[in-house]
Structure 1
Amino acid sequence: MIKKILIGFCLFFSALTWAQEGTASPYSFYGIGDVIFKGAVENRSMGGVSVFSDSIHVNLQNPASFSHLKQTTFTVGANYNNLKLNTTSESEKARRTTIDYLVVAVPVSKKFGASLGLLPFSSVGYKIESINDDPSQQSSRYFGEGGVNRFFGGLGYSINAHLSIGAEVNYNFGNISTNSVEFIPTIQYGTRELNSSRVNGVNFNFGAMYNRKVTEKLTLFGSVAYSPESILNLDNERNITTVLVTNNFTVIPQEEGILQKSTSKLKLPSKLVFGTGIGEVRKWMVGTELTIQQSSNFANRFNDINNVQYENSTKLSLGGYFIPKYNSFNRYLERVTYRAGFNYANTGLIINNESINDYGITFGLGLPLGGSFSNINIGFEYGKRGTTNAGLIEENYINIFISLSLNDKWFVKRKYD
């Protein structure tokens, strides 16, 4: 088991060096890019609901859940995204495959649990072209790539059989680069602007989880998580130069360019998540969760973007799971976990006076592996973000996500030497 984890870490760190593009959305132009859902496939398949945790799955959204683990868990998740971009007159398609997270969680004692992990926090990845039919008018091409990764460590503690608390520290790091070229075909030269930002900073997440039986079979669940406002430090570079744009759109710099360097600070808004659910343990559960984020305090990396504003964002999630018979020995499908959910979000982004909203429906399966507690989790999401109003882009997306969760017992004291 340890060898598998070490090999997994090596593969994952290698994958990060490839600078994977986690999005193809033009909305990733703003801020630090698309903020990626921080959650395991198990929770994502339930619309993002995280009010429930058990002894063999890692709940990445609330650090209090780490105290519930009874076995060491190693989990890695990946996502395939199929995106269709629509305007009032055109449509394009894009695809991305990414690694979503790699996490190791360990039950340190009967009351304590700890976790370490690495995952992307935000992603930038867009290619936009606006070629004017009139060669005497301006045309533009825009590119962006990079993002912010997050290394985290968390600790959960069970106060008693009903209440647990937890805390998590996150180190954020990464690079974002954007490239814009503007030119008029009938004029020999155009202009290129290169912007890059090196990002780093620390933020925290605190959580609590509660459960209590309300009848002989039914258990009530509750959870709350809070991330206070924090600061990201940015080292920025901007290079503006004259370029020659060839007929096949190759860009050839004509001079060294003007280099501007600056440092800035970007606020990560505070976030409050609270939810509740009810169910029969190892049988079924339904829950709902509300996320409130003070996004109105957010800003862009640069101050000369005029068509965007930010408002406080909210997200509502609803979902649950069902297991026909978790301890069935002769019918595999009865041991499968069936999940489904729905979520709706006001993202907090306002472009051309239009709020950018996002909603999706999810389904998933938890497939046990042999006679162990390990499992494969598969999920599917269909959703829509944005609008074609005000010259904007509507995104219709399909996500297929999968995770491998391996469980084992560590730190077991041997009875015999």
Structure 2
Amino acid sequence: MIKRFIVICITIICSSAFAQQGTGSPYSFYGIGSLKFKGTVENRSMGGISVYLDSIHVNLRNPAAYVGKNVEGPLFNGESRPVKFTVAGTMSDATLQSNTGEARTNSTNFDYVAMSVPIGKFGFGFGLMPYTSVGYRLDDINDDDILVNRYTGEGGINRVFAGLGYQISDELSIGVDFNYNFGNIQNTAIEVAYRPDGSVVQFQTREFNRSDLGGLNFNIGLAYKTMITEKLELSATATYQPGSKLNSDNIRSFSTVTLDGSTFDVVGVSQTIDAVLEDQNLQQTDLTLPSKLSLGAGIGDPKSWFVGAEYTYQNTSDFSNPVFSNQGSSFENSSQVSVGGFYIPNYNAFSGYFKRVVYRAGFHFENTGLVIKDESINEFGISFGLGLPVGDRSFFSNANLGFEFGQRGTTNQNLIQENFLNLNVSLSLNSRWFQQRKYD
């Protein structure tokens, strides 16, 4: 059964790597797209918290976690930490609801691939993950139920990262991640024109914009763990990402297109003219990425149970994009509260497979920072997950399965409310590369 589950995980993850877009959210129209969750399936299944730090799971949210205490097990003998590898993907299904109707959208996404390697008191991590995703088709319909404008977009920003953690003491570690962000965002807009009799004009005008983005930023993390009683361990974390810039190379063109009279899809392009953005100082621009601060704390019995909470604050009001602006939207500072934890009946049980399964649960509430027609776009989600042991039990490898359902947005002001369901799968694999020789 477990082998079949691993095959399913790999199939989903590999197929998602070839997906054209990672979201179907209409809110990816704004800014640089919908921000992807930066964390593992294990984090996501606990409401998004990253407070719990151990030696057998990669933690993508806090670089101080690249350093973990030694694993207690016969294959490690307290001598070295394992090399950790993880890969994940998500299948999403959402119902988009407005005051006038509803629609469904789904997508399959690659989430991340990462590795963490112990080096004495240091820990080194690197990987690849999406940072934002764009994928939408929005129709602007007037009071007479006539299509006036159609907007479409695709693309997103990916992130390659490498980081280093250092164990200052048995309780305290520090780390830093360096990220290179790259990708492109493509947007098109068509204003539909009609004849006096209501039929669609043969030739329409389409505006096309593309931005190729790239830039560096970094993330600093602290992690503290200490036993406060014989059985209870206190964990506390902090991460800070300073504000940064993305360089954007932009192009804009206008095309004469022919539309299908019933679906309004483009069926022909007869002429294209490139805009001279250099005259408007828009050919090369800088996008401001806001700073972000996260604080978390939790308590638990190591390898048995844990409960924690995390608060994240981001200066989203500092975000700017001089190429794409929308008078009906703005940004305010965003925040998120996450609460979650896990329970393991008996992590080292000799019999009873499900005694070694990790049971996870959590919830989160987020103000995304996006404001449309004076309505703040909020998100609420509840998550559950399982960590299924695989392979040699002494290596503590897991196949992880997570479920998340929630709501984003509102139907006020004729906006769209998303009711989403996500299925997350990942592999968290451990191995030993380094072993101290006992005999010469």
Name the TM tier (shorter chain).
over 0.9
Shift of 1:413: 4.5
Change in Cα spacing, 1:58 to 1:349, as seen in structure 2 (3 Å) is same
**Structure 2 CA distance for aligned equivalents of residues 77 and 143 of structure 1:** 28
What is aligned with 1:254? 270
Report how far residue 253 of structure 1 moved: 2.7
Q: Secondary structure at the match of 1:185?
A: coil
Q: Cα distance, 1:374 vs. partner?
A: 1.1
Which shifted more, 256-265 or 266-275? Answer: 256-265
Contact 2:286–2:321 at 8 Å: present in 1 too?
no
Q: How many residues align?
A: 406
CA contact (8 A) 2:21 2:107 kept: yes
Distance 1:402 1:13 in 2: 12
Report if aligned partners of 1:32, 1:301 keep a CA contact under 8 Å in 2. no
* Alignment partner, residue 160 of structure 1: 169
Q: Distance in 2 between matches of 1:216 and 1:257?
A: 73
Matches within 5 A, 1:48-63: 48-63=48-63
* 1:76–1:404 contact (8 Å) kept in structure 2: yes
Give distance in 1, aligned partners of 2:16 and 2:403. Answer: 23
SS at match of 1:28: helix
Distance in 1, Cα, partners of 2:16 & 2:355: 36
> Does residue 189 of the first structure (1) align with residue 200 of the second (2)?
no
What pairs up with 1:6-405 in 2 under 5 angstroms? 18=18, 20-68=20-68, 70-109=81-120, 111-130=121-140, 139-186=148-195, 187-248=201-262, 249-251=264-266, 252-261=268-277, 262-300=283-321, 302-372=323-393, 373-405=396-428
The share of aligned pairs that are identical, in percent, is: 49
Structure 2 contact 13–90 (Cα < 8 Å) conserved: no
* Segments of 4+ moved more than 3 angstroms: 11-16, 130-135, 413-417
Contact 2:205-2:256 within 8 A present in 1 as well: yes
**Aligned partners of 1:207 and 1:25: how far apart in 2?**
31
Instruction: Kindly report the root-mean-square deviation, in angstroms, between the aligned alpha carbons of the 2 structures.
Output: 2.1
Change in CA separation of 1:88 and 1:250 when aligned onto 2, cut-off 3 Å: closer
- Distance in 2 separating the partners of 1:19 and 1:179: 20
Note the C-alpha offset of 1:351.
0.6
- Do the aligned residues in 1 keep the contact of 2:16 with 2:108 (CA within 8 Å)? no
Inter-CA distance 303–197: structure 2 relative to 1 (3 Å threshold): closer
SS at match of 1:113: strand
Q: Tell me, what secondary structure is at the counterpart of 1:68?
A: coil
**Whole-Å Cα distance in 2 between the matches of residues 327 and 388 of structure 1?**
49
* Whole-Å separation in 1 of the counterparts to 2:405 and 2:226: 34
Kept in 1: contact 2:288–2:321 (CA 8 A): no
| Counterpart-to-counterpart distance in 2, 1:328 and 1:138 | 63
CA shift at 1:128, angstroms?
2.0
- Structure 2: which 5+ runs fail to align? 1-8, 70-80, 196-200, 278-282
Give the Cα separation in 2 of the matches to 1:405 and 1:196: 37
C-alpha distance in 1, partners of 2:310/2:322? 31
Contact 1:227 1:272 in 2 (8 A): yes
Q: Which moved more, 1:159-168 or 1:181-190?
A: 181-190
| Alpha-carbon distance change, 183 to 363 in structure 1, aligned in 2, over 3 angstroms | same
Q: 1:103 to 1:296 in 2, by over 3 A?
A: same
- The answer as to whether partners of 2:178 and 2:219 remain within 8 angstroms in 1 is yes
Corresponding residue number in structure 1 for 2:198: none
The one-letter code sitting in structure 1 at the alignment partner of 2:96 is: L
Deviation, structure 1 residue 301: 5.1
Q: 1:270–1:197: structure 2 CA closer, same or farther, 3 Å change rule? A: same
- Is the deviation greater in 126-135 or in 40-49? 126-135
Whole-angstrom distance in 2 between the partners of 1:286 and 1:138: 50
TM-superposed deviation, 1:74: 1.0
Return the letter of the residue paired with 2:426.
Answer: S
Q: For residue 74 of structure 2, what is the aligned residue in structure 1?
A: none
State the alpha-carbon separation in 2 of the partners of residues 392 and 260 from structure 1. 34
* Alpha-carbon distance change, 138 to 280 in structure 1, aligned in 2, over 3 angstroms: closer
| Partner SS state of residue 254, structure 1 | strand
Q: CA deviation at 1:184?
A: 2.0
1:242 positional shift: 2.9
Q: Sort the Cα spacing of 1:95 and 1:176 in 2 relative to 1 into closer, same or farther, 3 A.
A: same
Whole-angstrom CA distance in 2 between matches of 1:12 and 1:177? 25
Shift of 1:311: 0.6
CA deviation profile, 1:229-280 (whole Å, cap 9, x unmatched): 0000101111123323232434223322242341110111000000100110
- 1:199-239: CA deviation from partner (whole Å, max 9, x where unpaired): 00000000000011111111111000000000001011111
2: CA distance, partners of 1:405 / 1:381: 19
Aligned to 1:4: none
Paired residue secondary structure (1:255): strand
